Chains A and B, each alone.
Chain A
Amino acid sequence: MDQQAISPGSANPTNVERKSERELAVTRLFDAPPHLVFKAWSDAALFQRWWAPKSFGVNLVSCEMDVRTGGKYRLEFAVGDQSMAFYGKYIDVVPDQRIVWTNEEEQDGAVTTVTFEDQGGKTLVTYHESYSSKEALDEAMTGSAAGLPEQFEQLAALLATADA
């Protein structure tokens, strides 16, 4: 199945913004109602197919997600022969509207909120990362702060240098 056949001309624009000194937000409109977009974010098999873009050379090798308030998740990525795990729990889930999760693989990990907003049959997705402090966000952004596992640096470097 080929998921790479995308017509760039038809894609809705993706907006990335630093909302405050400790918050980042990504917004994007999708041409489908919220229940379908929510499904693609909350079904592990579907999520695994799009979260790690093939063009970035990162594989999401395993994906466990129990998307309900109090549920947990664990994602394992592979980059070359390195692997790394990301995990945390869902602290607020409202089907078709909102998913909020923690990122516990690092200290001071962000709380991520994704909202699905109905806009006349389309869905405005807002992906919002809120860090405990501006230092935490800066560390996450640079990926080079002392104490971060080497894999994070590699991932950050990979993401920062990926081809357009």
Chain B
Amino acid sequence: MVQFNSTSLDASFAALSDATRRGVLAQLGRADASITSLADQFHMTLTGMKKHVQVLEKAGLVTTEKVGRVRTCRLGEGGLAAEAEYIDAQRRLFEARFAALDAIIDELKQEEENGSASD
């Protein structure tokens, strides 16, 4: 069973609430990247991108390493797992509910059609 840690979930969700940061995570999912190249890709200043990366880093979603003058970012380990697990559990619950709801709505549609046909 997955144990959720409230504090880290909190930081993670805050980090994920921003479209740019989600984009950065998607990008880092494809390949590691320097802050400079991320800033270029997302059309923002180096300072702006540094701030986003710091938020992601605090949430444990990204790790960075400075080699020489270049700071390279990569996806953190496990950071996404808890959020993904929670959202996924919700999605599975609602998918199951809605599948049953689909069946009931089909019945209602059928009843309505039959009803109007016999009027």
Indicate whether B99 reaches chain A with its CB closer than 8 angstroms.
yes
Q: What per-residue 1/0 map shows which CB atoms of B71-101 lie under 8 Å from chain A?
A: 0000000000000011111111111111111
- Assess A14 versus B98: contact at CB under 8 Å? Given A21-B14, A145-B6: yes
Question: Does A49 contact B13, Cβ atoms closer than 8 Å?
Answer: no
- Assess A11 versus B93: contact at CB under 8 Å? Given A21-B13, A30-B105, A36-B108: no
SS class, residues of chain B in contact with chain A: helix
Q: What per-residue 1/0 map shows which CB atoms of A34-53 lie under 8 Å from chain B?
A: 00110110000010011111
SS class, residues of chain A in contact with chain B: mixed
Question: Does B99 contact A6, Cβ atoms closer than 8 Å?
Answer: yes
Question: Does B9 contact A26, Cβ atoms closer than 8 Å?
Answer: no
List the A residue with the shortest CB-CB distance to B83.
A18
Binding site for A on B (CB under 8 A): 1-6, 9-10, 13-14, 16-17, 85-106, 108-109, 112
Binding site for B on A (CB under 8 A): 3-6, 11-12, 14-18, 20-21, 24, 26, 28, 30-32, 36-37, 39-40, 46, 49-56, 127, 134, 138-139, 141-145, 157, 159-162, 164
